[in-house]
Every structure is written in structure tokens, then in C-alpha cells.
Amino acid sequence: MKHIGFIGLGIMGKPMALNLVKAGYTLLVSKKSNACGELEAAGAQSYPTNREIARNSDAVITMLPDSPEVEEVVLGKDGVLEGIRSGSLFIDMSTIAPSTAQNIHSAMKEKGVDALDAPVSGGQAGAESGSLSIMAGGSEKAFGRAKPLFEVMGKSFELIGEAGAGQITKACNQMIVGMTLLGVSEAFTLAKKAGIDLNKMREALLGGFAQSRILELHGRRIIDRNFEPGFKIKLHRKDMNIALQAGKELSVPLYGSAQVAAQMDSILAQGYGELDHSSIALLLEQLANAGE
């Protein structure tokens, strides 16, 4: 595979696409994207429709915000499904509902296309450094074909199971990240209200059983008051909704996830949806009257 269509050049997709260009792949992107000029300057080719991108690609990757966007790009008018050729590979790296992923798999299978749902974890930093964690659902054949691309974009990639398995795994990832973020934010708010030096506390906790990447990276964000998005809280809230819906469908009570989602709703209601998901700390500080 040499020609790779890449649709969705946002905060995550653009650096992922640029890494593929740097690795020697010929990227096909949309003329409508705000990042089209930058990708063309790096060597990508641009096309007016997603159908044309798919028609001229050996593999198509989508990296979009949510299920409706993926459905529109793939199944809509002038979409990927209209143009993609039998024998091609389709990889959706967005975080969407498992049922949507399964529907797209079925549509691709009818056209003789191998498909994977392959959501990622690692945020903007992971996308830029090519160190994402990739969780895939689909066939062994499709996964084997995608491996060279995953090696460029990620540091770890695992075939979890059949269609939709990658999305279930990503939902579980977001549940754990969300609940850990809430725990770190509550701890930092308590310490702040008590007059504790947060830098010293963070260093102490990183040396013990509470150590985590969330504490390391987002604890630093909270201390530095750096809430510029690596991953927007409005997108994490969307992911929590996917997890809660899956829990409802499978009759699994997700009490902790529901609490995190409710806290995120409060942040969004205050107009902070564009901030990093670590900004959940702002809500707790406000409730505790522990602001700056």
C-alpha cells in the first residue's frame, strides 16, 4: 500500500497524517480541510470529495469527532463507500459507538473491503510523536495489512477482537482515564484548600502506589494552570456517553462513569468545552471555593 487517504485533519488527525507523509506514504486529503495547505506543502495530494479520495487510495483512514461525522463521511453522498475499491483497506481511528463501527464493517464487507475500527489513546502529544496506543477490532487479515501504518502512528497496537471490539476497549480506556482524572482533581483540590504545596505532594505521590500517567501529566497541568487542549473535555464527555450507552445495552451499571459524565456536563454548561479534560479540576475548585 502506497496511497493512503486520510480524512479528518484535526488536533489528532493532522499530526498522524504528517507522520505518514514523513514515512514515505503518498497521502490523499480533502481540499475542504483547513489543514489541506499544510499537508500539500508536506507532499500530500488533495481531492474535492471523499469519494475521490477513496477511489484513488489503497487504504482510507478516518479520524473524526463522533459517530454522525463518520457516518456522513463514509456512508453519505460522495462518501468513502461510493468510491472505495474492492480489495482496499478501511480504518476508522475515530472514537465512535461500537454499533456504528459494526454497521460500517458490514457495509465495507459487502464491497469486498477489509475494515478495522482502531481508536487511539495518547492525545495530541502521542499523535505528534507517533506513540499512540491503538486498539483494533476486525479480522486478522485486515490487522496484518494495517500494521505498517500503525507502526508509523503508534508505539503499541493490539487486535482485540471482531468488529466493534476496538471501540469497546476505547470506551473502557476513557472510563478509567475519566475516573482517574476526577480522583486526581479531587485530591489536588483538597490539598490546595489545606494549603499543601502541590508540587511537593505530586512528587511524593508519584513515588508511591498512586503513581499514574494522569497524576504525572495532568497533575502538572493543574499546577501550571495549563488547560490548553491536548484532548478537549467536550470530546471526553462524548466518549463517556458512548461508554454509558454500551453499559445500558449490556446491563452493566457504571456508577463511577456516570458521576464523571455529570461533572463534565457541569464544566460544559459553564462554557469550558474547548479546554483540556484536566479542566475538571476547575469545577471542583469552584465548588470547594479553592480557586486562585
Positions annotated as catalytic residues are 170
Rounded Cα distance, 166 and 284, in Å: 32
The three grid cell numbers given for residue 105, joined into one nine-digit string:
464493517
The three grid cell numbers given for residue 133, joined into one nine-digit string:
496506543
- Cα–Cα distances (Å) from 285 to 111, 182, 184, 190, in that order, read 53, 12, 12, 9
Q: What is the dihedral of CA 232, 70, 250, 243, to 10 degrees?
A: 0
Q: What is the DSSP string of 112-138?
A: T-EEEE--EESHHHHHHHT-EEEEEEE
Rounded Cα distance, 117 and 96, in Å: 9
Rg value, the chain, Cα: 20
Rounded Cα distance, 274 and 227, in Å: 9
Q: How many CA atoms lie within 13 A of 279 on its CB side?
A: 25
Q: Are 138 and 159 contacting, i.e. CB atoms less than 8 angstroms apart?
A: yes
